[in-house]
A and B are shown apart, each in its own frame.
Chain A
Amino acid sequence: DVKVTQSSRYLVKRTGEKVFLECVQDMDHENMFWYRQDPGLGLRLIYFSYDVKMKEKGDIPEGYSVSREKKERFSLILESASTNQTSMYLCASSLPGGDYEQYFGPGTRLTVT
């Protein structure tokens, strides 16, 4: 059974804190993605990675960075959290190429106060 796990379901951080969101997949997928989901805006791609140490910006990379040191793990970093980064963050993985199913993790609800 395919599995994508995220380190926390709920997280509360203060403005200015550095925040790490971790994602691990056990399917040996090359592609990994980070999205945020907001009401009325849907899911928006922040970053994705198609291989270890490789990354590409998505639609809304500002204020975020990522790290992929191992194939199974993809981290999203908020260098200095702001209130407008309060959101649901979803990680996904897929086989290489663009036509394969993305498997999503359960999401992390981040609140920045």
Chain B
Amino acid sequence: RKEVEQDPGPFNVPEGATVAFNCTYSNSASQSFFWYRQDCRKEPKLLMSVYSSGNEDGRFTAQLNRASQYISLLIRDSKLSDSATYLCVVRLGNQFYFGTGTSLTVIP
């Protein structure tokens, strides 16, 4: 069983739409949670950390549900520049587990 699972998509949404991604993790002892963004043929970059109380950064909102062992990312008012692959990342001790990513394309 994979430590972290994501729906690979692709998600194709029009500009201005709201889109949500979920990610589940298998180990309840997982300690830290992140969303990274990876553009085509580029390296991953941190989008945001995910805190227990949920957190927001502009149009992006991340939530953590420890009871159900999933994290989510909500993107409001999608922009063309949001087109990328979004990677869910979970830390367990010194190990970092990446999901395979969810592909988003925002269409004009």
User: Residues of A with Cβ closer than 8 Å to B?
Assistant: 33, 35, 40-45, 48, 50, 56, 58-59, 90, 98-99, 101-102, 104-107
Contacts and interface: CB of A to CB of B under 8 A. Distances in A.
A42 B91 contact: no
Contact of A99 (B32, B93, B95, B101): B32
Chain B contact surface mostly: strand
Interface of B: 4, 31-32, 42-46, 49, 87, 91, 93-101
Contacts of B4: 42
Given A90-B43, A105-B43, A106-B43, A58 B95 contact: yes
B51 to A, nearest CB: 10
B46 A102 contact: yes
B95 A45 contact: yes
